[in-house]
Structures are given as C-alpha cells and as structure tokens.
Amino acid sequence: MSEQNINVTLKVWRQRNSQSKGGFETYPLNDVSTDMSFLEMFDVLNEKLIQEGKDPVAFDHDCREGICGMCSMFINGRPHGPKQAVTTCQLHMRSFKNGETIVVEPWRAKPFKVIKDLVVDRSAFDRIIAAGGFISVNTGNAQDANAIPIAKENADESFAAAACIGCGACVAACKNASAMLFVSAKVSQLALLPQGQPERKQRVMDMVAQMDNEGFGACTNTGACSAECPKEISLTNIARMNRDFLAAEITNK
C-alpha cells in the first residue's frame, strides 16, 4: 500500500470531568500519514495542542497491539471505527478518505461515566468479574497440565469466549447499552470447562445480578454487540448464559 498523507477534520468530545457538561471541539489535522494508527493520529493532535498551549485530549490506551482492551473510541457512529474485528489502536488512517470529517465520542452508557474527554470508567466490568468470574483453586504446587480431560470442542469454544478483552465495545454498540455479550463471554469461558463447574450456577446468577445492579440495559438480540466486537465474540455465548441462568434460577438452592 503506497504511503500518502491526508487531511482530516476531527470532531472530538471534550469534557473536563464527570460533573461538567462537555461538548464537541473541531480540530483540522493536515498531513496525516495513512500508515498511522488512529491513536498515533491522536498523539500528533495532542502534540499540536500542547504546542499551542491547549489541554491535550485524554484517551485510554495501553498495549497498542489490539489485545489489552483499553482503547475505546466511538468513531463515526461505531465502536473502534469502521473496520471489523479491530480495536482503535489497530485501525489505520488508510481507512479514512482525504478531507473526511471524523466524529469521535466516548462510550455512552449509564455505568460508563466519562472521566475526562474520551476516557470512561469501566470499573463496572471489574465488579461483574468480582461477583463471580473466577474459579476456586487449591494453593500449593501447580497441577500437571492436561490432568483433567477436556473435549477439544469445549476447549476451543471456551478459548474463543476468553478472547474477550473487556473493552466495552459491545455495550457501546448496543442500542440498549446492554453488557450481555461481555458477561456471557466471561460466564461461558468458565462454564465450558470442568474447573468452572463447582460454582457454575451461583456464578451466572451473581454476575447477572451485578450486571443489572450496574444499570446496563436489557438484551433484545439485535446482534450489534457481536458485529462490532473486536474479538468477534459469538452471540451463542448470550444464549448459553440465558440457558444457564434459566436452569440456575429453577434449580439453585
């Protein structure tokens, strides 16, 4: 792909803190290399803002290689931008046209309070995990690998669910701001393995209860979450969680 430079206009959500009102600021940015990642483009913008003596745009980022789940921009109406199965850090400026106006917003959901600009508080996810997204393991020496037989299909499905990086794109994309895809991936990765069985029923009930307490919306099976998920977590996880939840509701003590 030949390198070239493009000019873009950025409309970025600026908000001083969680209490303040916030609004859009427009920044023209010229000579943007199409080989830049979206976050690198924001680095260039922030350099420019700092040189002008302005407050740089706050945004979340960490590994910048698509596996940590920190970056979280809602770009032109879609989480992580227009490409499928990529995080914002893996989105490149070649995906945009010369002269394009790009609207960048933070994730919007009641449990995801804006901390500053594009940074939102995703600790609701941590509390859901803490409510049941774990297994009990005895301390001491590590067990031999493969001591417990696990069907290949289950191991694969569990691994696919465990690919969830907890970025929150599913909540951001959902018209109901529902966290069902995230929670169902975290329930499924353990429900599919023998090690996850002892707490299976209690886990699904506790995690769903925490999800509801946080104020996430209810699932209406639109499928937007899975379509926008950078790790392509499957909708079948939601069905699995619904199944487990129904069974647990009926049979748990």
Binding region for other proteins (CB under 8 A):
11, 13, 24, 74, 76-78, 82, 103, 105, 108-111, 173, 175-178, 215-224, 227-228, 235-236, 238-244, 246
Stated length of the chain: 253
**Residue 219, phi then psi, degrees to nearest 5:** -75, 135
Cβ proximity to other proteins: between 33 and 115 the closer is 115
Cβ proximity to other proteins: between 194 and 223 the closer is 223
* DSSP secondary structure letter of residue 228: H
Q: Find the shortest distance in angstroms from Cβ 180 to other proteins.
A: 10
Q: Find the shortest distance in angstroms from Cβ 182 to other proteins.
A: 14
Cβ proximity to other proteins: between 148 and 187 the closer is 187
Q: Find the shortest distance in angstroms from Cβ 49 to other proteins.
A: 21
Cβ proximity to other proteins: between 46 and 222 the closer is 222
Q: Find the shortest distance in angstroms from Cβ 34 to other proteins.
A: 22
Rounded to a whole number of angstroms, the distance between the first and last alpha carbons of the chain is 60
Q: Which two tokens stand for residue 229?
A: 């998920």
Strands 5-14 and 101-105: parallel
Residue 81 C-alpha from the chain's centroid: 13
Residue 186 C-alpha from the chain's centroid: 13
Q: Find the shortest distance in angstroms from Cβ 112 to other proteins.
A: 9
Distance CA 83, CA 75 (A): 10
Q: Find the shortest distance in angstroms from Cβ 145 to other proteins.
A: 30
Cβ proximity to other proteins: between 88 and 178 the closer is 178
Q: Find the shortest distance in angstroms from Cβ 103 to other proteins.
A: 5
The dihedral region occupied by 122, where left means phi > 0, alpha psi between -120 and 50, and beta the remainder, is alpha
- Nearest Cα residue to 242 out of 228, 227, 221: 221
The answer to whether residues 71 and 88 touch, using CB atoms and an 8 Å cutoff, is: yes
Angle (CA) 177 229 68, round 5°: 105
Output the CA torsion sign for 150, 154, 156, 157. negative
Cβ proximity to other proteins: between 137 and 250 the closer is 250
Cβ proximity to other proteins: between 33 and 234 the closer is 234
